C-alpha cells in the first residue's frame, strides 16, 4: 500500500493492511498455524524471531537457508509451537529490508495464567514496536544495498507505526502513539526493536521502569529510567503511572543515527510519542525526557550487563553448561572482497569488488539452493562448497586499536577478505562457547548477534579486547540471562554459551540489516542426535520450491 508521511508518498509492503502487522497472542505450549498468502510482488519468508523451533527448522523462514521463498501469488502455511517460552518475541519477513515494514509482536502468556507472573500483575499489557520510517520503497533500498554500499537513511523513528507529533511537514503534525494511563496503575510494556538500522534509547519522561524480561525469558527485576534495545531484542518492562497527571513523551532515540539529524525540531531527537495521564485538564505542555547523547556506547554496555536470569521457585530455568565441547572466538569486521566470491577478480576495478561485513574475516555468500533440504537428504553440491567458519580469526590482532582502521579500500589490515557460504557443524548436544569480538573496523556500531533455533547464555561482556586470562574470571555461571540476540558492545566483546540441541541448519547473524546483507552471517548446522526425538523430521507438505530467481543471485 501507499502511505504518506512527512509530505511524501511511499510504497510499503505490510501484512493485513497494518503497520506494525497483527500481534500474535498465544499461551505457552500453544501450537500456532499461520497462513501466509503472498499478494505482494516480492519473494517473502516469515521468520518467528526467537521461537525455539525445536526439531522444526522447516518453519524457521530463512530464504535459501531453510526454504525457498514464497513467491508472489503463492501460499505457505507455517506451523510451530511456543513451548517453554514466556514473554515477548516477534515475527518479521526475512527478506532483507522488507522486514522494516513486515513485522509484528508475538506475545506468549504463561499457561497457568497471568497471576503466575513473577512480578506484580500489570493492569494492562501494551506492545511497543520501535521501527524506522523510510521515505523510500524498501525494495529499492535493498536493490541499492546489493549493488554496493548504501547512502539511504531512515527519515524518522516510529512507535507502533506512528512518527510522533514533533515530526511535521509544512506545519502539519504527524500522529503520535498515545497510551492513556490511569494514575497508580501498572503497565507492562513489551518493547521490540524492529528497526533495520540502530540500537535505541527508550525513555518515558518522569517515569521509571522495572525490567522483568527479555527475549521471552524472565530476568531478575531491576529499576532504570533508560532502556537500551538493539535490533532483534525485546525488553519487557513495568511502568507505574505515578507521575503528576499530565502529558509525558515516550521517546525512542536511535543511538547510531547519522548525524546531524535534520528531521526534527529537537536536534538529534526522533520518534517521539506521548503518554497521556487521565484527569488532565487544559493543555499543559508535554514533558520531554532527557535522553543520553547519541553514540553513547557505555549506556548499552551498562544496560545489558544488568540482565540476569530470574531465579524463582515456580520458574525452573535451564542451567548453563559447565563443561564446553567447542570454543570459538569470532571477530566482527568489514573489508573489501571480490563480489562473486573467491579471490579471483580485478582488485583495481571497483565494480568487481565491494565492501563486505565479516566474521573471522570471511563474508557470507547466500547459497543458490536452500541448505536445509540438502542437509536433510544428506546430498547436495551446495553442502560440499560450504566453507567452515574457523574457530579463530586468521591472526592475532589488536582488534580495537582504532589507529588500524584502513584508510582506503586497498589498504587491508586484516588478512584478505573473501566471500563464501560460511558454515560450522556441531555434533548433537555439544556445549559451545563463543566469544564475539567487535573490531575497530566497525567504528561506531555495537552488534546484535542473533542465533536462530537456540537461546544463548550471556556469560559476560566488556570493553576492549577480550583477554582470556583476565576475563574468564568474570563469567556468570550462576544466573546468566538467556537471549536469542546478544549485543556485542562497540569495540568490546561478549561471551556466550549454548547447547546445540536443535538438529537442522540455523542462521546466525548480525541483526543490523546492513551488516546482514553485507555478509556478517554464518549457518550453524546441528547434526541429528541418536533417536527420532533428536533428529530433524521430514519437510512439511507444500514446502515451497525455487523457480524464480530474485534470491538466487549470490551476493
Ligand atoms: Cu530476526 Cu535471522 O532474524
**What CATH number does the domain containing 117 carry?**
2.60.40.420
C-alpha cell read off for 511: 541483526
pLDDT for 259 equals: 43
Per-residue confidence (pLDDT) for residue 347, from 0 to 100: 78
Which atom of ligand 1 lies nearest, measured to the CA of 516? 2
The pTM of the full predicted model, rounded to 2 decimals, is: 0.94
| 403 & 274 share domain | no
Q: Measured in angstroms, how far is the CA atom of residue 93 from the centroid of ligand 1?
A: 9
Separation of CA 232 and ligand 1 centre (Å): 7
Mention every residue, 6+ apart, whose C-beta is less than 8 A from residue 324: 431, 432, 433, 497
Q: Which residue has the cell 573496523?
A: 441
Task: With CA atoms as reference, report the closest residue to 513 among 200, 104, 100.
Answer: 100
Both 199 and 264 in one domain: the answer is yes
Nearest Cα neighbor of 23 from 231, 210, 192 is 192
Q: Are residues 357 and 504 in the same domain?
A: yes
How many Å lie between the centroid of ligand 1 and the Cα of residue 482? 16
Query: Which atom of ligand 1 is nearest the CA belonging to 92?
Result: 1
| 530 lies in some domain | yes
Nearest alpha carbon, ligand 1 atom 1: 49
- Please check whether residue 363 lies inside any domain of the structure: yes
* Whether the Cβ atoms of residue 191 and residue 235 lie closer than 8 Å to each other: yes
Q: Say if residue 501 is in the same domain as residue 431.
A: yes
| Per-residue pLDDT tens listing for the chain (555 residues) | 999 998 999 999 999 999 999 999 999 999 999 999 999 999 999 999 999 999 999 999 999 999 999 999 999 999 999 999 999 999 999 987 899 999 999 999 999 999 999 999 999 999 999 998 888 888 888 887 776 656 777 888 899 999 888 788 888 888 888 898 999 999 999 999 999 988 999 999 999 999 999 999 999 999 999 999 999 999 999 999 999 888 888 989 888 755 434 333 333 334 445 555 444 444 557 888 898 887 888 999 999 999 999 988 877 788 999 999 999 999 999 888 888 777 788 877 777 888 889 999 999 999 988 999 999 987 666 677 899 999 999 877 888 887 766 555 555 455 568 899 999 999 999 999 999 999 988 877 789 999 999 999 999 999 999 999 999 999 999 999 999 999 999 999 999 999 999 999 999 999 999 899 889 999 999 999 999 999 999 999 889 888 754 443 333
Residues 488 and 347 in one domain: yes
Residue 236 sits in the same domain as residue 377: no
Whether residue 181 lies inside any domain: the answer is: yes
Residues 231, 131 contacting (CB under 8 angstroms) = no
The CA 182 to ligand 1 mean position distance, Å, reads 36
Is 136 domain-assigned?
yes
* Residue 168 to residue 155: CA distance in whole angstroms: 12
Separation CA 415–CA 530 (nearest Å): 40
Burial 451-478 (b: 16+ CB within 10 A, else e): bbbbbbbbbbbbebbbeeeebeeebbee
Rounded distance from Cα 346 to ligand 1 centre (Å) = 34
Give residue 29 CA to ligand 1 midpoint distance, Å. Answer: 22
ipTM over 0.95: yes
Q: 110 alpha carbon to ligand 1 midpoint, in Å? A: 24
Residue 72 covered by a domain: no
Q: Is residue 71 in some structural domain? A: no
Please tell me whether residues 376 and 247 are part of one structural domain. no
Tell me: do 408 and 460 sit in the same domain: yes
User: Which pLDDT belongs to residue 244?
Assistant: 87
Q: Indicate the DSSP class of residue 63.
A: B
Q: Rounded to the nearest whole angstrom, what is the distance from the C-alpha of residue 511 to the centroid of ligand 1?
A: 6
- How far apart are the two ends of the chain, measured CA to CA in Å? 28
Same domain, 330 and 287: no
Q: Which atom of ligand 1 is nearest to the CA of 99?
A: 1
- Please indicate, yes or no, if residue 541 is contained in any of the structural domains: no
Q: What is the pLDDT of residue 408?
A: 52
Q: Which of 204, 222, 202, 203 is nearest to 212 (CA)?
A: 222
Nearest residue (by CA) to ligand 1, atom 3, is 49
- What does the alpha-carbon distance between residue 497 and residue 464 come to, in Å, rounded to a whole number? 20
Of 305, 340, 368, the one marking the end of a domain is 305
Atom of ligand 1 nearest to the CA of 452: 2
Within a domain: residue 54?
A: no
At residue 274, the pLDDT reads: 53
Kindly state whether residues 338 and 301 are assigned to the same domain: no
Report the pLDDT value the prediction gives residue 415, as an integer from 0 to 100.
Answer: 59
> Strand 272-277 to strand 178-181: parallel, antiparallel, or no bridges (unpaired)?
parallel
Longest dimension (CA), the chain: 71
Asked whether residue 372 falls in the same domain as residue 466, the answer is: yes
Q: Rounded to whole angstroms, how far apart are CA atoms 270 and 452?
A: 31
Q: Which domain holds residue 222?
A: 113-305
Domain total in the chain: 2
Query: Does 226 share its domain with 151?
Result: yes
Q: Which of 240, 275, 305 finishes a domain? A: 305
Ligand 1 pocket, residues with Cβ under 6 angstroms: 47, 49, 92, 94, 232, 450, 452, 507, 509, 511
Amino acid at each position: 500500500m501507499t502511505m504518506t508521511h512527512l509530505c511524501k508518498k511511499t510504497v510499503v509492503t505490510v501484512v493485513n493492511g497494518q503497520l506494525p502487522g497483527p500481534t500474535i497472542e498465544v499461551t505457552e505450549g500453544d501450537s500456532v498455524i499461520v497462513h501466509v498468502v503472498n499478494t505482494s510482488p516480492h519473494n517473502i519468508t516469515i521468520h518467528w524471531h526467537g521461537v525455539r523451533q525445536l526439531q522444526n527448522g522447516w518453519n524457521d523462514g530463512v530464504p535459501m537457508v531453510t526454504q525457498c521463498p514464497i513467491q508472489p501469488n503463492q501460499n505457505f502455511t507455517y506451523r510451530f509451537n511456543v513451548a517453554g517460552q514466556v514473554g515477548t518475541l516477534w515475527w518479521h519477513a526475512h527478506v532483507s529490508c522488507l522486514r522494516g515494514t513486515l513485522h509484528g509482536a508475538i506475545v506468549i502468556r504463561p499457561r497457568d495464567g497471568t497471576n503466575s507472573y513473577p512480578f506484580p500483575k500489570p493492569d494492562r499489557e501494551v506492545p511497543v514496536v520501535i521501527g524506522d520510517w523510510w521515505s523510500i520503497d524498501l525494495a529499492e533500498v535493498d536493490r541499492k544495498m546489493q549493488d554496493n554500499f548504501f547512502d539511504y537513511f531512515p527519515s524518522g523513528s516510529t512507535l507502533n507505526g506512528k512518527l510522533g507529533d514533533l515530526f511535521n511537514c509544512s506545519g502539519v503534525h504527524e500522529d503520535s502513539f498515545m497510551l492513556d494511563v490511569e494514575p497508580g496503575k501498572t503497565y507492562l510494556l513489551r518493547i521490540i526493536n524492529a528497526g533495520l538500522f540502530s540500537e535505541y534509547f527508550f525513555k518515558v519522561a518522569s517515569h521509571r521502569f522495572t525490567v522483568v524480561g527479555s527475549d521471552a525469558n524472565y530476568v531478575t527485576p531491576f529499576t532504570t529510567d533508560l532502556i537500551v534495545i538493539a535490533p532483534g531484542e525485546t525488553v519487557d518492562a513495568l511502568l507505574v503511572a505515578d507521575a503528576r497527571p499530565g502529558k509525558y513523551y515516550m521517546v525512542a532515540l536511535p543511538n547510531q543515527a547519522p548525524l546531524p539529524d535534520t528531521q526534527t525540531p529537537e536536534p538529534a531527537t526522533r520518534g517521539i510519542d506521548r503518554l497521556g495521564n487521565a484527569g488532565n485538564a487544559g493543555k499543559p505542555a508535554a514533558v520531554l525526557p532527557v535522553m543520553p547523547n547519541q553514540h553513547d556506547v557505555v549506556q548499552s554496555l551498562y544496560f545489558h550487563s544488568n540482565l540476569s536470569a530470574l531465579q524463582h521457585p515456580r520458574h525452573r530455568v535451564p542451567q548453563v553448561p559447565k563443561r564446553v565441547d567447542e570454543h570459538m572466538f569470532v571477530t566482527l569486521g568489514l573489508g573489501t572482497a571480490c563480489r562473486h566470491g573467491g579471490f579471483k577478480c580485478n582488485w583495481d576495478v571497483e565494480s568487481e569488488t565491494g565492501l563486505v561485513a565479516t566474521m573471522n574475516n570471511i563474508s557470507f555468500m547466500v547459497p543458490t539452493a536452500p541448505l536445509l533440504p540438502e542437509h536433510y537428504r544428506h546430498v547436495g553440491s551446495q553442502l560440499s562448497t560450504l566453507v567452515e567458519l574457523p574457530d579463530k580469526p586468521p591472526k592475532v590482532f589488536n582488534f580495537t586499536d582504532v589507529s588500524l582502521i584502513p584508510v582506503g579500500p586497498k589498504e587491508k589490515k586484516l588478512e584478505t577478505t573473501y566471500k563464501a557460504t560460511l558454515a560450522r557443524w556441531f555434533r548433537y548436544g555439544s556445549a559451545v562457547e563463543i566469544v564475539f569480538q567487535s573490531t575497530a573496523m566497525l567504528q561506531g556500531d555495537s552488534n546484535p548477534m542473533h542465533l536462530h533455533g537456540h537461546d544463548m547464555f550471556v556469560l559476560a561482556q566488556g570493553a576492549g579486547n577480550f583477554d582470556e586470562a583476565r576475563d574468564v574470571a568474570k563469567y556468570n555461571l550462576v544466573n546468566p540471562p538467556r537471549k536469542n540476540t546478544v549485543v556485542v558492545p562497540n569495540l568490546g566483546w561478549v561471551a556466550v554459551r549454548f547447547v546445540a540441541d536443535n538438529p537442522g541448519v540455523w542462521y546466525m547473524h548480525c541483526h543490523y540489516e546492513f551488516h546482514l546483507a553485507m555478509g556478517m552471517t554464518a549457518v550453524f548446522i546441528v547434526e541429528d542426535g541418536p533417536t527420532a526425538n533428536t533428529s530433524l523430521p521430514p519437510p512439511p507438505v507444500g514446502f515451497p520450491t525455487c523457480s524464480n530467481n530474485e534470491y538466487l543471485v549470490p551476493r
